[in-house]
Structure 1
Amino acid sequence: METLSQLLSILLSTIRDVLPIIAIVFGFQLLVIRRPIPHLKRVLFGFIYVIVGLALFLLGLDKALFPIGELMAQQLTDPAFIRGTVATTGEALHWSDYYWVYIFAFAIGASTTIAEPSLIAVAIKANEVSGGAIGVWGLRLAVALGVAIGISLGTWRIVTGYPIHWFIISGYIVVVIQTFFAPKLIVPLAYDSGGVTTSTVTVPLVAALGLGLASTVPGRSALIDGFGLIAFASLFPMITVMGYAQITEIVARRDRRRRERAKMVKQE
């Protein structure tokens, strides 16, 4: 009954949040464009599905994703798990002792990004528009690698306590430099790839991991240090996607030169 009551409360809250979107869409269609809404019944059913889906998703966050993310962070940073002697000797932990946290952050960042619906949609559309020049799996793996590296680096920052702006500023300097050298076809897509990672699957687990880690590592503040992992998850995919395009372009250029040389040898 408690879960059902919570679901009903979330459902009412979701309806209240979605109503302005419905009002804007219907208002522009009827008052500005002044045309009837095509397939009205289908649109209404779509909004119902969205509302119910969002309510169930938010309930799932509260019941499963946030708790499991925080629990994993607490377990991985427990001194008894890291080194059994620390709990008794009181010896201070070094940042290198948290290597399981970095491995878990890398794995969870890659896996959640691969499963991200928004990234799948962008990859499919990019493949269609580019005529197959941009591979669906190539883009997804490049983005997943960027998120994995970013979240691992972000967890290391939480453990060490270094200021977040050092990493963000340095990362965007790399992005700006890459923009001048990366293939023009990939640059806008790389910038969008940083945004699609901050969606339904990645954000809850990453946010829970950061908050759980900051609340268990000695000397860290959940408010100051717990947030910021999502910024890493948005930044590093831009670097890896442009890097993937640059590497692909270099390989293709070398293959082209090799074929030209082979052709010249045959002609001689």
Structure 2
Amino acid sequence: MPNKLEVRRSALRKIREKFLESFSAVMPIGLIVLLLHFTIAPMPGGMFGSFLVGLLLLIVGMCLFSLGADLSMMPMGERIGAQLTRSKNLKFLIVTALVMGVLITVAEPDLQVLARQVPAVPDKPLIFLVAAGVGLFLVAALLRIIFQKSLRLILMVCYGLVFFLAIWVQPGFLPVAFDAGGVTTGPITVPFILALGIGVAAVRGGRSAHDDSFGLVALCSIGPILAVLLLSQFYDAAGGAYGATVPETPQSLGEIVSQYIQAFPHYAKEVLIALLPILGAFALFQVLFLHLPRRQMIRVGVGAAYTYVGLVLFLTGANIGFLSAGNFLGGAIAALSYRWVLVPIGMVMGFFVVAAEPAVHVLNKQVEEISGGTISRSAMLISLMCGVAVSLGLAMARVIWGVSIWYFLLPGYLVALMLTLFVPKIFTAVAFDSGGVASGPMTATFLLPFAMGACQAMGGNVLSDAFGIVAMVAMTPLLAIQILGLWSVYRQKKQPREKFALDETELIEMEG
């Protein structure tokens, strides 16, 4: 048994590693904003100060969240998933998954933000129908693992239905529907849902268990899209004007501090409400089935506290410091005579901002562990960064020239679905999971306001031109990760030929 000193040193080493990871993930986007501020788009002093405070909160918050996900969110999800499978009670699994999916989604902070930004639909119908969509598709995702059904086939059928319904939808609702699929898979739900699938697949076993460990986030992203498409049949997209709430620009250091102090209770309440369904479900399973020892429960409790504090800090920093900065920078750059520069700037932002999404690192770590290192964290991250860079470039092109999102989503998803026929199953599952994971709080609080600010400065239609950026960010990882899968297949086929050529050369040398 390690003594207390060794345990303390190990904990400090882990915190230091997580802090360095968070710092290296968040600072690049911070440096880009600093470069823009000191060159072509200087921000007001108070806004710049607020951004710097937000940057610090993001780094610390992401560090604590990452620690908490390792200690509590992942273990809770895996144990609940494993117990649901061991019970061999299909009704119990269906009811539990449905209730948890609905409750977790209703409490998702990003969904609350989305609902407030869609004036054509009342908040409550949108939130509860989207939550029902997530709950139903979470049930479907777990049943798929248990009965070993093809994820590729399910994705093709579901997205076929999505695009069939999209034909009859008013143009203003299409970006909203695909955005809903992205915002419901936030930093709170992703670690838990990922772990739930891993737990179910591990207990079910079989040769395809590691492939089936992923795909839950992918299917849970489809439910909200279908829900909004169905809801659009009962509301008029022109029923209101789109508007987002941007925090007021502080004028002094005192106002900056006051702004953050006033915001903390709001986000503390939001995160608590979002975490309660997961913690409550785990507590119930602990009492009825798990009976984990006190030491493990303390570990889970400490991890939950890290997760809670980390997310409060992260969301406060993102919503107060980054939202205003993003909106201002987008408007300032769009007002330049050379507004085309939005496209390359957007691509650079997209490349780095995905690394600051907390759930991305959780997914990448799980993929590396489950695949036994076949799919490395670095390869995953670089692929996602390249994919999101492309999506932001295209999104900025939409803002400048008012191109319909149809021309991007339809061919993008068709190519992504076609690629599923040629790549290993695990790459398909991971790719479609990545789409939901990449479009997290940084997209909602920085990239979307950036696009909105640019669109408003050019007098465009925010609802149809700027909205949909979450959808674009969610689409390109589907292509990027599956292209990585094609490259992996190519390398595996090439290696035996290279080895044979090498052996032949060595034989000739020996004979010589």
TM-score normalized by the length of structure 2 = 0.45
Q: How many angstroms apart in 2 are the aligned matches of 1:228 and 1:134? A: 30
In structure 1, give the amino acid aligned to 2:493.
R
Gaps of 5+ in 2: 1-257
Is 1:101 the equivalent of 2:342?
yes
RMSD: 2.6
What is the CA–CA distance in structure 2 between the aligned matches of 1:121 and 1:19, rounded to whole Å?
A: 20
Does the 8 Å contact 1:29/1:37 carry over to 2?
no
Identify if the C-alpha distance between structure 1 residues 19 and 128 changes in structure 2 by more than 3 Å, giving closer, same or farther: closer
State the Cα distance separating 1:185 from its structure 2 match: 3.9
Q: CA deviation at 1:105?
A: 1.1
* 1:250 alignment partner, one of 465, 485, 490: 490
Distance in structure 2 (CA, Å) of the matches to 1:29 and 1:147: 40
Q: Deviations over 1:208-258 (max 9, x none)?
A: 22222222222x222232221111111111111111221343244344324
Aligned to 1:91: none
Please tell me the residue identity of whatever aligns with 1:151: L
Task: Report the equivalent of 1:217.
Answer: 458
1:33 to 289, 304, 314: 289
Asked if the contact 2:326–2:450 (Cα under 8 Å) also holds between the matched residues in 1, the reply is: yes
Shift of 1:64: 0.8
Q: Give the drift of 1:135.
A: 2.2
Q: Does 1:136 align with 2:377?
A: yes
Residue number among 76, 91, 95 corresponding to 2:333 in the alignment: 76
> Does the C-alpha gap of structure 1 residues 13 and 155 become closer, same or farther in structure 2, counting only changes over 3 Å?
same
CA contact (8 A) 1:77 1:213 kept: yes
In 1, the alpha carbon distance for the partners of 2:271 and 2:491 equals 49
Q: From the superposition, tell whether residues 21 and 149 of structure 1 become closer, same or farther in structure 2 (CA, over 3 Å).
A: same
Structure 2 residue corresponding to 1:161, chosen from 377, 381, 402: 402
Q: Which runs of 5+ in 1 are unaligned?
A: 84-96
What corresponds to 2:10 in structure 1? Answer: none
Measured after TM superposition, the shift of residue 262 of structure 1 is 5.2
After superposition, where does 1:86-235 map in structure 2 within 5 Å? 97-218=338-459, 220-235=460-475
Q: Counterpart of 2:232?
A: none
Contact 1:214–1:222 (CA<8 Å) still a contact in 2?
yes
Q: Does 1:236 align with 2:476?
A: yes
Residue of structure 2 in register with 1:24 after alignment: 281
Aligned residues: 250
Q: Distance in 2 between matches of 1:186 and 1:148?
A: 20
Give % identity.
23
Deviation readout 1:78-111 (Å, 9 max, x if unpaired)? 1xx3x2xxxxxxxxxxxxx433211111111111
Q: Secondary structure at the match of 2:461?
A: coil
Measured at CA, do residues 2 and 153 of structure 1 come closer, stay the same or move farther in structure 2, by a change above 3 Å? closer
Q: Is the 8 A contact 2:416 2:478 kept in 1?
A: yes
Does the CA contact (< 8 Å) of 1:215 and 1:221 recur in 2? Answer: yes
> Contact 1:102–1:155 (CA<8 Å) still a contact in 2?
yes
Q: Which residue of 2 aligns with 1:88?
A: none
1:145 Cα deviation after fit: 0.5
* Superposed displacement of residue 139, structure 1: 1.5
CA–CA separation in structure 2 for the residues paired with 1:246 and 1:34? 41
| Residue among 318, 323, 329 paired with 1:61 | 318
Deviation at 1:137, TM superposition (A): 1.2
Contact map agreement 2:347 2:393 (CA 8 A) in 1:
yes
Out of 254, 260, 282, which is 1:3 matched to?
A: 260
Indicate the SS of the match to 1:131: coil
Of stretches 203-212 and 167-176 in structure 1, the one that deviates more from structure 2 is 203-212
Change (3 A) 1:35 1:147: same
User: What is the deviation of 1:169?
Assistant: 1.3
* AA in 1 matched with 2:289: I
CA distance in 1, matches of 2:495, 2:483: 18
- The farther-off stretch of 15-24 and 123-132 is 15-24
Partners of 2:275 and 2:498 in 1: CA distance: 57
Q: CA deviation at 1:34?
A: 7.0
Q: Specify the SS of the correspondent of 1:186.
A: helix
User: How far apart, CA to CA, are the structure 1 residues paired with 2:425 and 2:272?
Assistant: 42
Q: TM-score, normalised by structure 1?
A: 0.80
1:49 matched residue in structure 2: 306
Residue pair 1:114, 1:141 contacting (<8 A) in 2 also: no
**Structure 2 vs 1, CA of residues 229 and 261 (structure 1 numbering), >3 Å: closer, same or farther?**
same
Distance 1:206 1:225 in 2: 13
Q: Letter of the 1:74 partner, please give it.
A: G
Please, which moves more after superposition, 173-182 or 224-233? 224-233
Cα 1:260–1:215 shift into 2, 3 Å: same
What letter is aligned with 1:52? V
Identify if the C-alpha distance between structure 1 residues 119 and 20 changes in structure 2 by more than 3 Å, giving closer, same or farther: closer
> What is the CA deviation profile of residues 154-181 of structure 1, one whole-angstrom value per residue up to 9, with x for unaligned ones?
1111222122123111111001111111
In 2, the alpha carbon distance for the partners of 1:135 and 1:50 equals 25
Mean alpha-carbon deviation: is it higher for 193-202 or for 45-54?
45-54
Change (3 A) 1:74 1:254: same
8 A Cα contact 2:332 2:454, kept in partner: no
CA offset digits 1:112-147 (Å, max 9, x no partner): 223433222322332233232222211210111011
SS of the residue corresponding to residue 143 of structure 1 reads helix
